[in-house]
Amino acid sequence: MTKIALAIHGGCGVMPENSMTPEEWEGARHDLAAALRAGYAVLKAGGPALDAVEAAVVVMEDSAHFNAGHGAALNEHGIHELDASIMDGATLEAGAIGTSRAIRNPVKAARALMEDGSAVFLVADAADRFAEAKGLAVEPQSYFTTQKRVEALAAMKTHAAAGTEGTENEKHGTVGAVALDAAGHLAAATSTGGYNNKPDGRVGDSPVIGAGTYARDGVCAVSGTGKGEYFIRYVVGHEIASRVAYLKQDLATAADGVVNHDLAPHHIGAGLVAVGAEGEIAAPYNTPGMFRGWVTPDGKAFVATHETIYEVTL
């Protein structure tokens, strides 16, 4: 058996303290801890990293505190369009779903597509039909909607009309997980509703393999959050893995180099979580906060939103 490790994120951004109530911040940390427990329980029992990242992401998709599944962002027409992907570091197999309007847990559909093997990426109605055919839960649009997202969409439209910038909370968010299992295998999964007031049909980096999600055994697993168009341009997940594999950089150096140096000239919010082949964890971000959590190889668990880090029990 090798070391096991897990890291998750729930999106990065400016995240001013007054943008949520103390109860909402605590609720978000509670659900981050719940996601860690779900994923770590799989790893602790000797289960595969794929199952662990899926389990962790499902918890966050079901939580109204994060922009994925229930509580996802609304596009310019007030419609939820959901993206997700998952990747197996052992085989490089992957599955991705884009612009789904009905799948309750898009990460489950991405996993089902990966295992089906007929395609890597399905979008829109075809993705919804695939999920339903696989027996996965589908929901009406109203299931995904929360008052917070309705208000955020209205705020973003006001900002657009006035030519001003919204807070990161009003804009976007993503959830993701990376894991190393006892067999030494790595996996990554990411899920998002995109950003509020996004163009109809827009797909970001979360379901793009190599950009927002990437895993390769013996190297690392990465899940990103931030302005997805730039994660696609820089192929962020694959770029970090390449620096580790070919430049022999340590994971922290590779991840920090992309987030805080390569992307810096674009002045965009960016963050990610990554886990290496020996259980090392990196979670860089260039904004004042990022919803995040991790379990180290020695079994200690932590969650955070801003600088303060809270230890939690598993």
Structural domains for the chain: 5-312 (3.60.20.30)
The per-residue pLDDT for range 74-87, each reduced to its tens digit, is 999 999 999 999 99
Check if the beta carbon of residue 299 is closer than 8 Å to that of residue 290. Answer: no
pLDDT at 6: 98
Please compute Rg for the chain using Cα positions. Answer: 17
Which DSSP helix (H) or strand (E) runs through 251?
Answer: helix 251-257
Nearest to 36 by CA among 300, 265, 261: 300
Q: Considering the entire predicted model, what is its pTM?
A: 0.96
Please give the structure tokens belonging to residue 231.
């994660």
Q: Classify 295 as helix, strand or coil.
A: strand
What is the structure's pLDDT at 165? Answer: 65
What angle, rounded to 10 degrees, do the helices at 22-44 and 49-61 form? 160
Strand partners, 270: 226
The tokens describing 76, both together, are 């310019």
Q: Give Cβ neighbours of residue 67 (< 8 Å, ≥ 6 apart).
A: 11, 73, 149, 172, 173, 174, 175, 192, 193, 194, 195
Q: How far apart are CA 48 and CA 89, in angstroms?
A: 11
Answer for the pair 180, 44: CB distance below 8 angstroms, yes or no: no
The predicted pLDDT at position 157 comes to 87
Residues noted as catalytic: 174
Strand arrangement, sheet containing 220-226 = 213-216, 220-226, 270-276, 281-282
pLDDT of the residue at 96 = 98
Mean pLDDT per 10-residue run, the chain (314 residues)? 91 80 90 98 98 98 95 96 98 98 98 98 98 98 93 84 64 87 98 95 98 98 96 98 98 98 95 98 95 97 95 96
Query: How would you classify the pairing of strands 186-192 and 175-180?
Result: antiparallel
